[in-house]
Amino acid sequence: MNKIVLASSSPYRRALLEKLKIPFDYLAPDIDETPLAGETAAQMVQRLASAKAQALADRYPHHLIIGSDQCCVLAGQITGKPLTEANAIAQLTRASGKAVTFYTGLALLNSASGRLQTCMEPFVVHFRTLEDAEIAGYVRLEQPLQCAGSFQCEGLGIALFEALEGRDPNTLIGLPLLALADMLRREGVNPLRA
């Protein structure tokens, strides 16, 4: 079986990849994540997912390297990680009663052959109309300061929503497993035959 590397330090992505029950290593790539002028959110996450995988190719020359990147868009604006409680409250206040689209880019690089597979998965979250006290309470309890959109859907964040729409719910957490499993099978790695 090919050795697999996840180009990420995210504990959420690691937990998702563990669902496939295939052994893997992980390492955070060192890349510039600055958006390019005129780049759409979908283009940006695809570019960054590929860049993350390619950044580890020299260190892992005979591996399958997984890169993933995510951003969320509210009212046409890319929303990043809040980093502070005040920013998280402001982001959730803006999202209240609205739909937010998450774009997740995925790349699988076979560093031995140079073959690069990519895709982009959208996922839409419809927020309930939230009270200020709900937002403040959520941020205080969950501390979603390192999460795009200021929530963790795998925890208490699910109570913020009225509906979710997308092909793969794992996409919202940061790693589209349906697409990744397809890519891995094309490289001869079938989690069901491991």
Positions marked active-site: 69
- 33 with 105: CB under 8 angstroms? no
Q: Pick from 26, 22, 21: which is nearest to 11 by CA?
A: 26
How far is the C-alpha of 93 from the C-alpha of 140, rounded, in Å?
14
SS3 159: helix
How far is the C-alpha of 30 from the C-alpha of 71, rounded, in Å?
18
> What number of other Cβ atoms are within 10 A of residue 26's Cβ?
17
Query: Tokens 């029950």 identify what position?
Result: 21
